[in-house]
């Protein structure tokens, strides 16, 4: 599918943000064009970040998984909801404490941000994604929130994919805790524009000169739009062409997949250099 041209007076593009699942990979399989897209960014000297709401893995884990799929993304070009959450908490309450429901991606990020993990009067209860949600851990979280701990969640996604079908994700468990405590968490990950802004800050990019690529209207496109970026929706993931029309906002462009964006990177860079 051809991507519609931009106006001739569009601002130059020197930075790109892209979602990972549904844009670059499906499970462990690379989406055609994903490796070429990353190489196009590198060869043109463009700044970029690969974003994911998945808080299970560290950037090092994700780099290894992407490399196994043939996609070579530097570790420092990966920005997760866990890292965004740790950055937010370190800014809000430096050297605080947290009771964490999550895996290595989240606990490592919090440790590196100077946080202490504790179940004794923590500053925060931090809920992330995990392969096995423990009823005991959820009960502890509810009791700590009732005692005054602030409630944070890495992202609002209610389900995630698996080869067997849907899996409950962070948003579903957050809803359970909210029902028990009457306390709604602050979600740091997409669609919160905060995650986009922190990703832009990492590469010293300006939203006016950055494009966001995603496969979901309700997270990727809306958060990119709210930060002021141009957006590209790819139809290789969650959102279908028909579903685009259900929303009161639209992406800047629509493409069948990331493969359709590779030539755009080269063309846009050539135009900006002229």
Annotated catalytic residue: which of 21, 123, 157, 260? 21
Both tokens of 41, joined, read 């960014």
Query: Is 215 a catalytic site residue?
Result: no
83, 107, 125, 178 from 154: Cα distances, Å: 9, 12, 11, 15
Q: Give burial (CB, 10 Å; 0-12/13-18/19+) of 76.
A: exposed
Query: Is 14 a catalytic site residue?
Result: no
- Whole-number Å distance between alpha carbons of 98 and 63: 27
Annotated catalytic residue: which of 19, 123, 157, 260? 19
Both tokens of 232, joined, read 């590209």
Instruction: Go through 168-188 and write b for each residue having 16 or more CB atoms within 10 A of its CB, e for each that does not.
Output: ebbbbbbbbbbeebeeebebb
The answer to whether 227 touches 190, Cβ cutoff 8 Å, is no
Three-class SS state of 1: coil
Kindly list the catalytic residues: 19, 21
């Amino acid at each position: 599918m051809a991507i519609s041209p931009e106006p001739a007076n569009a601002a130059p593009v020197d930075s790109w943000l892209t979602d990972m699942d549904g844009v670059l990979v499906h499970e462990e399989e690379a989406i055609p064009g994903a490796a070429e897209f990353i190489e196009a960014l590198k060869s043109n000297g463009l700044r970029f970040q690969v974003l994911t709401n998945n808080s299970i893995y560290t950037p090092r884990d994700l780099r290894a998984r992407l490399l196994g799929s043939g996609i070579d993304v530097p570790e420092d070009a990966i920005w997760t909801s866990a890292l965004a959450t740790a950055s937010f908490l370190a800014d809000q309450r430096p050297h605080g404490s947290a009771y964490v429901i999550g895996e290595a991606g989240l606990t490592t990020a919090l440790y590196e941000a100077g946080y202490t993990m504790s179940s004794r009067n923590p500053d925060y209860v931090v809920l992330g994604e995990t392969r096995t949600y423990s009823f005991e851990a959820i009960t502890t979280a509810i009791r700590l929130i009732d005692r005054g701990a602030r409630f944070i969640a890495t992202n609002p996604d209610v389900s995630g994919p698996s080869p067997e079908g849907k899996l409950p994700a962070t948003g579903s468990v957050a809803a359970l805790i909210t029902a028990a405590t009457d306390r709604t968490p602050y979600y740091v990950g997409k669609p919160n524009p905060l995650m986009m802004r922190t990703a832009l800050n990492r590469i010293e990019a300006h939203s006016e000169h950055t494009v966001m690529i995603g496969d979901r209207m309700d997270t990727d496109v809306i958060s990119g739009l709210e930060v002021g970026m141009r957006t590209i929706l790819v139809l290789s993931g969650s959102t279908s062409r028909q579903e685009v029309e259900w929303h009161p906002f639209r992406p800047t462009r629509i493409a069948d997949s990331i493969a359709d964006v590779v030539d755009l990177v080269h063309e846009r860079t050539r135009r900006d250099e002229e």
